[in-house]
Amino acid sequence: MAGKGGVGKTTVSATLARAAALAGLSTLVVEVEGRSGLASMFGQGELGYEEVVLSPGGGPDGAADVRARTLTADAALLEYLEDHGMSRISRRLVATGALDVVATAAPGIKDILLLGKVKQLERAGVADLIVLDAPAAGHAITFLQSARSLLDTVSVGPINAQARDVLELLEDHRRCQVVLVTIPEETPVNEAVETAFSLEDRVGVGLGPIVVNGVYPPVDGLVTTPAEVEAAAAEAGVALRPGEAEVLAEAARFRLDRMALQAAQIERLAAGLPLPQIRLPFQFTAEIGPAEVDALARALLAEVESLAGLPL
């Protein structure tokens, strides 16, 4: 999952995980930047390196579990050393404060440690679906390109082997796809198009449908003049105070203008990036919680069903 900061990438990660769970797929969400707020969307506390259940399965909808964890390069390195019989070295690195020096010994090392752990989780079959809440778009390209970059600079050894395994995963479109997230505004749409082509050209990953987040749902019967508002209020038996008709009419015009702007950007996105689109409705709330995640997940499943006949 990748996208420009502020487009709701983490919200869409939570939504995709919940949608997969509703479809009966066990899901693990992995965040790599920490403090994303993902856990709070399920009504849980902050995530740690150890896996936790965000949303238990079962219940009337028969959903599967949604689990989550945070990955850090330092913890991944320590785990790697301990798994390979070097626990004494790992303890010494922690005691001397040299851990960060090792984890940043070459450009891309931290990224390959994180991706290597994701690869390990995928190979172990820990879940039917792993959702990686990747860094924002600019860093996402270098993050995903780290494997190829390290292969160019490190010709032998465990780092080379790790990079090769990660690259194999990234280039296998059956095992790994990048889902880009945007909102229907000019700058995010521009960045989504640029990121998509960069990912395909420089990284070689497969692209799934692009998620357009925050789309205003259509509203029938909007009235845009004070006279129309007063007539509608009278028909509904509602008494308006002085000035309210003008404010309501202005709000209706704003909503129509906003919907027209979004429609134009969605059309421009489709012209610039020939990928199927999944459109998620704007949530008129200050914070996203379990109820909003569930509503978005069901909207996503409906969108996926509508795309079932399209080539992906």
- CB neighbour list of residue 276: distance below 8 Å, 6 or more residues apart: 209, 210, 307, 310, 312
Bridge partner residues of 281 (DSSP): 215
Confirm whether 51 is domain-assigned: yes
Residue 97's CATH number: 3.40.50.300
Q: Are 23 and 66 in contact (CB under 8 A)?
A: no
Confirm whether 250 is domain-assigned: no
Confirm whether 224 is domain-assigned: no
Interhelix angle for 158-171 vs 137-153, to 10°?
Answer: 130
Query: How many structural domains comprise the chain?
Result: 1
Bridge partner residues of 133 (DSSP): 31
* Overall average pLDDT of the 141-166 stretch: 78
Q: Are 208 and 178 in contact (CB under 8 A)?
A: yes
Domain enclosing residue 93, as ranges: 2-216+273-306
The model's pTM is: 0.85
Q: Residue type at 185?
A: E
Residue burial 156-185, b: 16+ Cβ < 10 Å; e: rest: eeebeebbebbbebbeeeeebebbbbbbbe
Helix/strand/coil for 107: coil
Q: Which of 26-40, 165-179, 242-256 has the lowest mean pLDDT?
A: 26-40
Confirm whether 241 is domain-assigned: no
Confirm whether 264 is domain-assigned: no
Question: How many Å apart are CA 120 and CA 21, to the nearest integer?
Answer: 22
pLDDT in tens, 25-69: 999 999 986 667 899 999 998 888 889 999 998 877 889 999 999
Confirm whether 284 is domain-assigned: yes
Confirm whether 77 is domain-assigned: yes
Q: Are 47 and 31 in contact (CB under 8 A)?
A: yes
| pLDDT of 107 over the 90 cut | no
pLDDT of residue 312: 43
Mean pLDDT over all residues of the chain? 85
pLDDT of residue 110: 79
